[in-house]
Amino acid sequence: MTLRYAAITDRLYDLGGDKWALHNAARARKAAGETIIDLTIGEPDVPTDPGLVEECVKALRAGRTRYSNGRGEVNLIEALIETYAHRFPDITSDNILCFPGTQTALFAIIQALAESGDGVLIGDPYYATYEGVVQATGAHVQPVPLRMEHNFELQASDLAAAITADSKVLLLNTPHNPTGAVLSRQTLQELGALCIEHNLWIVCDEVYESLTFGTPFASPLEIPALRERTIVTSSISKTFAATGFRSGWTIGPVELSRRILPISETMLFGNQPFIADMTEAALRGSFDTAERMRIAFDRRAHMIHETLSDSPVLSTALPQGGMFIMIDVANTGLDGETFAWRLLEDFGVAVMPGSSFGATATSLVRLALTVPDEVLHSAVKSMIDFRVPRTFP
Ligand SMILES: Cc1ncc(COP(=O)(O)O)c(C=O)c1O
């Protein structure tokens, strides 16, 4: 007799693998000794501040190694209240839940909001794990096209056109991975008005909040009329170059937080107190990690934009934040996937095909801004030279 699995394993079975095929191939070639410029993923290129590592070690030595509780350590919750008070003046501990990163937080939030038959509206292209987070619940992604001519900023008219009777949640991400779009307060107000009209939840992934270059960061939490339907999530991963510590949180309405809590408790049984102490120190401290990254990523994005201004075939929009830049390769006559594989073959430069991020991005490739300027410059030169030996239609 065949052993039987739950449907969630079918829904997630094919997610992930194909999306990372090029990244995995680049890694394998590097491991085999080839020189590969890897621009596929956005791991911060600065180390975690030694002062923060020290806080963690100090907490470990002080015995902060016991069980915590589902909501989070009191000292961290207090630091989060202070951090968010300017956006959400009435915030209390009942609005907060701690998680091991934005990823688990998103998983728990969407579990609490969506199920089979429900639609989750997401700007397309989107971060690679969103599809799985939605499909795990049995709900379906409702893509909303993000357009290069609008700097990939989600437009209210595109959202209005995508909303159906199934729609239940709008999942936002600002600053945006992979496009670098930053939602302005005005745009958030327009999108929020539609969410009120159609009774949609707003989930906002703000993991890149400290990495904005142009448009200032704005959160739907700052708009009082949206607060009852908004939950945001963020973490120390990007801001403090601390991806491996796994420390994030959600800020949302009391009743929604109450309903997410048992999902978190049954999955996690609380977080690690020594990580909570280190996170508190990060939030209360004056670390310059984000500022150093912000300056470097902005400079590199401008460098790429200028370098490509000479190219008759490659074009880009300046990202307003985040760790990435998208380049449109449609005029090479190749789609992003073919372009990326050939670039790896011929020049040893690995970029992510846009198709890994949704159906709208098939003519795009994504470059991480997390490598030194000269390496990035030589990769972009390769992309320009790439067409020289070939005759594109
Ligand atoms: C848009 C987005 N959300 C969430 C995550 C995961 O963040 P965390 O480390 O907080 O789980 C990433 C990581 O790259 C991301 O790009």
129 lines ligand 1 (CB under 6 A): no
Query: What does the alpha-carbon distance between residue 336 and residue 17 come to, in Å, rounded to a whole number?
Result: 18
CB 176 within 8 A of CB 157: no
Token pair recorded at residue 284: 């209360």
96 lines ligand 1 (CB under 6 A): no
Quote the pLDDT of residue 229. Answer: 98
What are 119-131's pLDDT values in tens digits?
999 999 999 999 9
Quote the pLDDT of residue 16. Answer: 66
Crossing angle of helices 74-84 and 273-284, rounded to 10°: 30
Quote the pLDDT of residue 393. Answer: 47
Number of residues assigned to the chain? 393
Strand, helix or coil for residue 312 = coil
205 lines ligand 1 (CB under 6 A): yes
Q: What is the pLDDT along the chain (393 residues), one digit of tens a residue?
A: 999 999 999 999 888 677 889 999 999 999 999 999 999 988 888 999 999 999 999 999 999 999 999 999 999 999 999 999 999 999 999 999 999 999 999 999 999 999 999 999 999 999 999 999 999 999 999 999 999 999 999 999 999 999 999 999 999 999 999 999 999 999 999 999 999 999 999 999 999 999 999 889 999 999 999 999 999 999 999 999 999 999 999 999 999 999 999 999 999 999 999 999 999 999 999 999 999 999 999 999 999 999 999 888 999 999 999 999 999 999 999 999 999 999 999 999 999 999 999 999 999 999 999 999 999 999 999 898 876 445 544
Using the atom order of ligand 1, give the atom closest to the CA of residue 104.
11
Quote the pLDDT of residue 387. Answer: 64
CB 372 within 8 A of CB 45: yes
Quote the pLDDT of residue 15. Answer: 81
235 lines ligand 1 (CB under 6 A): yes
Using the atom order of ligand 1, give the atom closest to the CA of residue 243.
9
Quote the pLDDT of residue 18. Answer: 78
CB 87 within 8 A of CB 222: yes
Domains of the chain: 7-46+289-385 (3.90.1150.10), 50-284 (3.40.640.10)
CB 93 within 8 A of CB 77: yes
Using the atom order of ligand 1, give the atom closest to the CA of residue 205.
3
Give me the DSSP letters along 42-99. ---SSPPPHHHHHHHHHHHHTT--S---SS--HHHHHHHHHHHTTT-TT--GGGEEEE
227 C-alpha to ligand 1 centroid (Å): 23
| 199-231 as b/e: b if 16+ CB within 10 A | ebbbbbbbbbbbbbbebebbbbbebeebbebbb
100 lines ligand 1 (CB under 6 A): no
Query: What's the whole-model pTM score?
Result: 0.95
Using the atom order of ligand 1, give the atom closest to the CA of residue 105.
11
CB 199 within 8 A of CB 192: no
The sign of the torsion formed by the CA atoms of 275, 276, 281, 284 equals: positive
179 lines ligand 1 (CB under 6 A): no
Quote the pLDDT of residue 214. Answer: 82
Q: Where are the alpha helices (DSSP H) in the chain?
A: 7-13, 21-31, 50-61, 74-84, 102-113, 130-135, 156-162, 185-197, 254-268, 273-284, 289-308, 336-347, 373-385
Amino acid, single-letter form, for residue 330: A
